[in-house]
Amino acid sequence: MHEKLFANQRALQPAKLKDYATEVGLDVAAFSKCLESGKRAAEIKTDIDEGAAVGVTGTPAFFVNGQMLSGAVPFEDFARVIDAELARAASKSATAKN
């Protein structure tokens, strides 16, 4: 289901969610009951609000030491950001020792 939701991020209305549940072979009655209960609505809203507060507007979004990488970021970009952060930390550590 997560792949279906990811592929259709702009179409997440309840009726669409039920369609997706059918398409991926979920127990639609159980899914609908959970969806309509609102049991997870507050948790989901909190996640959305927390993401919005730090600039997340969609998925995927990743943070490396506070730096956001948004979208389907290639591995090389992750490696570059991580390497830069490691170098920065090593430099700070060396400076602190002197």
Domain range for 24: 2-39
Residue 11 pLDDT > 70: yes
H-only helix segments in 12-64: 14-23, 28-37, 41-53
To the nearest whole percent, how much of the chain has pLDDT over 70?
A: 99
Task: Estimate the crossing angle of helix 28-37 against helix 14-23, to 10 degrees.
Answer: 160
Closest to 86 (Cα-Cα) out of 67, 61, 58, 62: 67
Question: Does 52 map to a domain?
Answer: no
Residue 49 pLDDT > 90: yes
Q: What is the pLDDT of residue 92?
A: 84
What mean pLDDT is reported for the chain?
93
SS3 61: strand
Mean pLDDT of all residues in 80-89: 96
Q: What is the pLDDT of residue 98?
A: 64
Domain count along the chain:
2
Question: Does 28 map to a domain?
Answer: yes
| Model-wide pTM > 0.85 | no
Taking the C-alpha atoms of residue 47 and residue 96, their distance in angstroms, rounded to an integer, is 37
Question: Does 84 map to a domain?
Answer: yes
Residue 88 pLDDT > 80: yes
Q: For residue 25, give the H/E element and its range.
A: none
Indicate the pairing of strand 67-70 with strand 61-64.
antiparallel
